[in-house]
Amino acid sequence: MIRRYHVVAIPIRIVVNNFGDHNPDGRMYVLKEKEAKVKELVRKNPFTPVELVQPLTIRANEGDVVEILFENQLPFAAGMHFQEADYNVLTSDGANVGLNPSSLAECGEQILYEINATREGIYFFTDLGNVSSTEDGSSIQGLFGTLLVEKRGSWWTDPETGDPLNSGVFADVHNPFLPSFREYAWFFNDEMEVDDLTGNRPINPQTNQDAESFHGVNYRYEPLHNRDRLLEEGVVCPDCDGEEVHHDSWVFGDPATPILRGYRGDPTMIRLIHAGVKETHVFHYHVHQWLRDPSNAGSEIIDSQAISPQSHYNVQPLYGLGSLSGAIGDVIVHCHLYPHFEAGMWGINRIFDTLQDGSQCYPNGVPIAALQPLPDRPCLPRPTKEKPGFPNFIPGKVGCKAPRPPLGIVGGREMTELEKNAAVPNARPGAVFTDSCLGNPVVVEFDVSMIELPIVYNKQGWNDPKGRIYVLDKDLDDVLSGKKEPEPLVLHIPAGSCIRLNFTNRLPHILDGDAFQLVTRTYEVGFHIHFVKFDVLVTDGANVGWNYDSSVLPGETIRYEWFADTELKAFFFHDHLFPISHQQHGVFGAGVIQPRFSQFFDSTTGEETERGTQVTVTHPIIPDYRDFALFVQDFALLFDKNGCPLAPPEFPGSQDDPGVFGVNYKNEPLQFRLGKDCDPAYSFSSFVNGDPVTPILMAYEGDPIRIRLLQGAHEESHSFNVHGLRWKSERPDNDSILLSQQHIGISESFTMEMDIPRAGDYLWAFEDEEDVWNGTWGLIRAFDQEVEDLIPLPDRPLPPPRTKPLPEVTGKPPALANPQSTLPPEASPNAPIRRYDVVAFQTPIVYNSYGDHDPFGIIFALEEDVDDILCGKKNPEPLVLRGNTGDIVEVTLTSRLKFELFPFQDGIHPYPPVKEQAFYPPSLRISLHVSLLDYDVTTSSGDTVGFNPDQTVGPGEKITYRWHVHDAVGTCAMWDVADLRNHRSFGAFGAFIAEPRFTTYLDPLTLEPVKTGTNIVLNNPLLGGNSREFVIIMHDGVRLVDKQGQLIVDPIDGILGVQDDLEDLVDTYDNGSRGFNYRTERLINRFREHPVLSDLFSSKVFGDPATPVFEAYAGEAVTIRLTMPSERRRAHTFHLHGHVWKFDPRDIDSRMDSYVGHMVPGAAEDLLLIGGAGGIFNFPGDYMYRSGNIRWDIEQGMWGIMRVHDKDQPHLPRL
Amino acid sequence: MTHDNSNNIDVNAIHDMALLDHFIDGIGQKVIILSPSFPFLFIGTIVDVVEDLIELDVETTHFSQLEDRTWFIHIHNIEVFYIERPGEPQIPELKDMT
């Protein structure tokens, strides 16, 4: 059917909370029929949020054609670009790209878009008429919305009235064949302009400095600094400090941010959308879990999900609201990045247990709006005086902090009569209103305390004098006396257990002040847990909404109960009362829900244990394994040995990226590992520098291992890479793709399960430049002979007795590796060999026609192309090598690096900057590391790590790596590891593509065989003949100069328009230019030539961009190989207009996406375009591929074109 | 070319019958069964074989809530099994941590 909407883009004042904070320059999409009403309400309520001012959410059904009449009332050309949709790119792209006619509407004009809603899902829409990242832009000021496509035959009603609904972020969705469900659209938006009631920038009353920028949900935010002011003035709760009551409705009433209301057990769908411009957030939803890929039952179960700008996910909580145990109460939903949480990026999912018909009130007298029950759910009891239902049985006092839970505190209170009426029959400490443990399972019990103690992070004395950690009570003496090294607490628990925790607060009342932080009265602490089931009212370890405050005061003990219903990953735990103040000091840990019937042993002594970051797990049925836990940290507030703060903020209390980094309370900065020869190539070598203090994960050759990857603190994205190993992306799914890199944000948890095929040292690293520079790396060490401090796995053959001495530190570089001496572990002896001769050398790289260039480029190229590149006949592109399944690929690498061609010969690399700058001279050695392939890590990993031989080459040297293509894993990232500071961002990277067996590679113009190239034709007789392969290498952190030789300081130099407060906005890892395949089409260059924002992507005005223009004919099979080998921590989104692909290309059940989030160093993706070029309908035209980050990628040149022809082109043969 | 089906033997029927006979022969014995559907694992004693269903007194599954009760498992839903017989390797004893 055809469904029609008339949408208007309007300027609007957006009031973002009840404190009168507002955006005077907001912009939004609204339905025409609501336009007048919205404008009138806003005019009458200049300082109060208006319900109708919300991101436009409209709906359609699968199979519908949606006609959108778009009317533009903004003072610039604007449009609506729909992700996921199928549409004619010439008429309905909502953009002005390449040679297409513009599908933007000028100010005052209208345009008709026709959108095919082919599949159920989130069709997020934004404007591409004005991509400025400043407050003059559109997205940043609120111009976004979504079309939600429901299952065929659905209809939707207002949750309050039950009436039909035309638009709205909340709806009840019904279908004749499917359960009705609650649908909540949840738009993260960030960096929007906000003024306070007085029209000035909001001030943080604690620091008296500018408050953090806007981080909110659905145009609302509820920052701590506003609520703090009410405490300071003594209006409410004068004995409170601030952070511990930030989310407390007893003190402040409900927040202005979304409250997702439902009844216990209601089926639910949160449409999670990142409509913001810059940060990769982590969406966390207490109590509930969901499948990462809802269409794939073999997908991972998660309860935190990182989300990059212009990405979106369906969050469908398993078991409905309240999860398996049927919890009731207020469940906080928030961005887990703590500075964002503090800035107001949170809301509540309120789960009622009694019918709300509009006659009831909250404890503060505010009426509870009616909530229609879902028609196919059981009837709910009505509230009575004896059983008033949540929240009215809780004995709190309005204006005061929430009460403590009954039964939980040792020596605390019993239940009131109303609480008894609301309690489950067998109410007990930690499980009063929900029976969290089903039936009568086995019980495991832990006694844990929180303590403060100094923690030393490395041999150079970097230290946190106020470390705060969880520790088992039985370990208290050993940890406090220094006998036991502090490490994050990791508890090991078999699935099916009922877990009881007795948690004692042994912290001092005060977190002292210093260069990083102001004095804070952190007088209570909790133990908040992820994944497991629990009674959220009393065991959340938090203080949320109308719930109890389930934390504990100093010297007291609280009892919690959780249920591990099935084998899970590592479940994260941390404090939820003062996490912004002290989690970065170490307040985090994990429990690992191991397979039922497991036993756990100390890997060194063989004694049975229940805790440890490295343990050995045995099981009667499944193979035994090593279990390792790694917690990455940022905002580590460390001092050097002389007491000087490391990377302090501008003022104490600032959240502007203070401190450095760590893993498990340790770091091993590269600046201390130059060795006597001052050569970065041996920074990871244990021969030269000894082993790092960071974790060395120990195993024997052949052992199965599981790495539990977590992030303990505090705000930033990190990119975990393991060199030489790989694991399944979706562990329960046999069809899963393989990975050797994983993006992580705080509170996410990943389990990487694999075997170690061969003895050697494997590098693990959070491998963006700044992280690894500051020491976030370590080793996986696999022994081939017995060692004293590692028990063998009982079900594996005993390791042979030691005959060779263990290697020792020599202070000298190791001997050169001999890759010809071994075969890759999985290779067959008669495998075909494919050979490449690769040279690493320096050459200027011209990035665009405006003369932006890198005069100090370092590239890899095939030997036969070197002369053409050096004489300027060929402008280089990143090296792309290929091999077929079964091949052994021998890559002979030669270094022609010259010291005089490095820009920073004094050893100080000033731009793009990193924290803790130090002397680190450029290495003349270079290497080539590849991810995902099969090779002997001691010879062919392209890095000199631990006690492995040297795998780098100096000038005049050669090494021939042996890589085995064990499977058609597609895109693999390639980069140099010899000098991650001075080489990689200058171009020392590329890609390897692992193709199916029998594939040949052809030039797209001549169809003659080729050896390399980013744009080729693949021929495979078994896979349908020919297809096109486009390799897109996304990279950032580039140091460019303009044609006058002036340094380009991106992102600042590329911003379109005027931007205030630049110093606060740009983090170290935002610095540097960026683009695709050594090219960037910075919009500022175009804007200077022709200052019309809506024309900036137009080839009719500017010609084609410098970034690759990939060409195909409509309907031709196309695979995009996307990777990001280099180099910064800021995560990017990749989006291709008008096309979709499988999230997991190997899995037919996998969801379809038109974007890839979380692009950070090491990422490698394969996008098999469904329907081929032009999408499912094969529409010809120019399709933009681009970053989803308005701030700061698109302006800075991260975009290009895929051109889909319908007519024959003389230069391009059809497939 | 035509094919005469009149003398065909139903291989699937033979396969199923052999499987059923094997389980009938194992009545009273301990068995471990892996199945592709929830709850994936059963350990218990074979009580009876009813048509093509195995009646099992289940002492262990993946989930303790589903134990100590009788389960009927269709033979087509058995992916892997082992019947413990005297003198043969024993099915591991699975114990919750205590």
CATH 1.10.3470 fits B29-89, yes or no: no
Please report where in the chains the tokens 């270079």 appear, as a residue: A926
Interchain pair B62, A439: CB under 8 A = no
Fold of A443-619: Immunoglobulin-like (2.60.40)
Q: What number of other Cβ atoms are within 10 A of residue A207's Cβ? A: 16
Which CATH number fits the domain A660-817, given the four candidates 2.60.120.10, 3.40.630.30, 1.10.287.3510, 2.60.40.420?
2.60.40.420
**Is residue A1143 within 8 Å of residue A291, measured between CB atoms?**
no
Measured between CB atoms, does A444 come within 8 Å of chain B?
Answer: yes
Measured between CB atoms, does B90 come within 8 Å of chain A?
Answer: no
* A871: exposed, middle or buried (Cβ count in 10 Å: 0-12, 13-18, 19+): exposed
Dihedral angle over CA of A409, A414, A418, A419, nearest 10:
40
Map B41-86 to HEC letters.
EEEEEEEEEECCEEEEEEEEECCHHHCCEEEEEEHHHCCEEEECCC
Q: Quick one: pLDDT at residue A880?
A: 98
Nearest chain B residue (CA) to A440: B65
* Per-domain residue ranges of chain A: 1-150, 177-426, 443-619, 660-817, 833-1205
Q: Where are the alpha helices (DSSP H) in A563-610?
A: 579-582
The two structure tokens encoding residue A1026: 């020919």
In chain A, residues with a C-beta closer than 8 Å to the C-beta of B94 are 596-597, 620-621
Same topology, domains A177-426 and A443-619? Answer is: yes
Q: Quick one: pLDDT at residue B5?
A: 57
Measured between CB atoms, does B65 come within 8 Å of chain A?
Answer: yes
Supply the DSSP symbol for A1145.
T
* A603: exposed, middle or buried (Cβ count in 10 Å: 0-12, 13-18, 19+): buried
The confidence band for B3, taking pLDDT boundaries of 50, 70 and 90, is: low
Supply the DSSP symbol for A1192.
I
Measured between CB atoms, does A794 come within 8 Å of chain B?
Answer: no
Half-sphere exposure of A930 (CA within 13 A, CB side): 30
- Residue B79 CA, chain-centre distance (Å), reads 9
DSSP string, A750-806: EEEEEE--SSEEEEEEE-SHHHHHTT-EEEEEEESS--TT-PPPTTSPPPPPP-SPP
Summarize pLDDT for A187-225 with one digit per residue, the tens: 999 999 999 999 999 999 999 999 999 999 999 999 999
Name the percent of chain B in helix, strand, coil, to the closest 5.
Answer: 20, 35, 45
Interchain pair A441, B92: CB under 8 A = no
Q: Quick one: pLDDT at residue A620?
A: 93
Nearest Cβ partner for B96 among A438, A494, A621: A494
**pLDDT greater than 60 at residue B98:** no
Å between B6 CA and nearest CA of chain A? 38
Nearest chain B residue (CA) to A618: B94
In chain B, residues with a C-beta closer than 8 Å to the C-beta of A565 are 63
Complex ipTM > 0.90: no
Å between A493 CA and nearest CA of chain B? 9
Interchain pair A597, B96: CB under 8 A = yes
Interchain pair A620, B62: CB under 8 A = no
Interchain pair B98, A599: CB under 8 A = no
Nearest Cβ partner for B96 among A496, A565, A621: A496
Nearest chain A residue (CA) to B66: A439
Å between B84 CA and nearest CA of chain A? 15
Nearest chain A residue (CA) to B94: A597
In chain B, residues with a C-beta closer than 8 Å to the C-beta of A444 are 97
pTM above 0.80, yes or no: yes
Å between B57 CA and nearest CA of chain A? 19
Å between A774 CA and nearest CA of chain B? 41
In chain A, residues with a C-beta closer than 8 Å to the C-beta of B65 are 438-439, 441
Measured CA to CA, the distance from residue A77 to residue A96 in angstroms comes to: 10
Measured between CB atoms, does B40 come within 8 Å of chain A?
Answer: no
**Please, what is the Cα angle at A1133 between A170 and A1023, to 5 degrees?**
105
Measured between CB atoms, does A2 come within 8 Å of chain B?
Answer: no
- State residue A801 phi and psi, 5-degree precision: -60, 155
Å between A791 CA and nearest CA of chain B? 21
In the predicted model, residues of chain A with pLDDT beneath 50 are none
Work out the average pLDDT over B47-51. Answer: 96
Nearest Cβ partner for A442 among B92, B93, B97: B97
Mutate which: B42, B95, B96, vs A, most A CBs within 10 A: B96
Residue ranges with strand state E in A267-364:
268-274, 281-285, 290-291, 301-302, 304-307, 312-315, 329-335, 346-352
Residue ranges with strand state E in A1039-1114:
1040-1041, 1047-1048, 1073-1076, 1109-1113
Measured CA to CA, the distance from residue A804 to residue A1189 in angstroms comes to: 53
Q: Quick one: pLDDT at residue A569?
A: 85
Measured between CB atoms, does A623 come within 8 Å of chain B?
Answer: no
Interchain pair B94, A597: CB under 8 A = yes
Measured between CB atoms, does B36 come within 8 Å of chain A?
Answer: no
In chain B, residues with a C-beta closer than 8 Å to the C-beta of A597 are 94-96
Å between A180 CA and nearest CA of chain B? 25
Q: Which CATH architecture has domain A1-150?
A: Sandwich (2.60)
Measured CA to CA, the distance from residue A107 to residue A855 in angstroms comes to: 43
Measured between CB atoms, does A599 come within 8 Å of chain B?
Answer: yes
In chain B, residues with a C-beta closer than 8 Å to the C-beta of A621 are 92, 94
End-to-end CA distance of chain A: 36
In chain B, residues with a C-beta closer than 8 Å to the C-beta of A497 are 96-97
Interchain pair B92, A620: CB under 8 A = yes
The two structure tokens encoding residue A124: 């997020």
A-B CB pairs within 8 A amount to 36
- Determine if the peptide bond prior to A403 is cis (ω within 30°): no
Å between A499 CA and nearest CA of chain B? 12
Interchain pair B94, A442: CB under 8 A = no
* Per-domain residue ranges of chain B: 29-89
Annotate A387-401 with b (16+ C-beta within 10 A) or e (fewer): ebbbbbbbebeeebb
Among A839, A888, A842, which Cα is nearest to A864's?
A: A839
The two structure tokens encoding residue A827: 């290779």
DSSP string, A420-449: HHHS-TT-BTTBSSS--S-SS--EEEEEEE
In chain B, residues with a C-beta closer than 8 Å to the C-beta of A494 are 96-97
Measured between CB atoms, does B94 come within 8 Å of chain A?
Answer: yes
Mutate which: A438, A621, A624, A733, vs B, most B CBs within 10 A: A621
Summarize pLDDT for A697-709 with one digit per residue, the tens: 999 999 999 999 9
Q: What is the CATH number of domain A177-426?
A: 2.60.40.420
Nearest chain B residue (CA) to A620: B92
- Determine if the peptide bond prior to A714 is cis (ω within 30°): yes
Measured CA to CA, the distance from residue A143 to residue A138 in angstroms comes to: 5
Å between A731 CA and nearest CA of chain B? 16
Reported CATH class of domain A833-1205:
mainly beta
Q: Quick one: pLDDT at residue A567?
A: 73
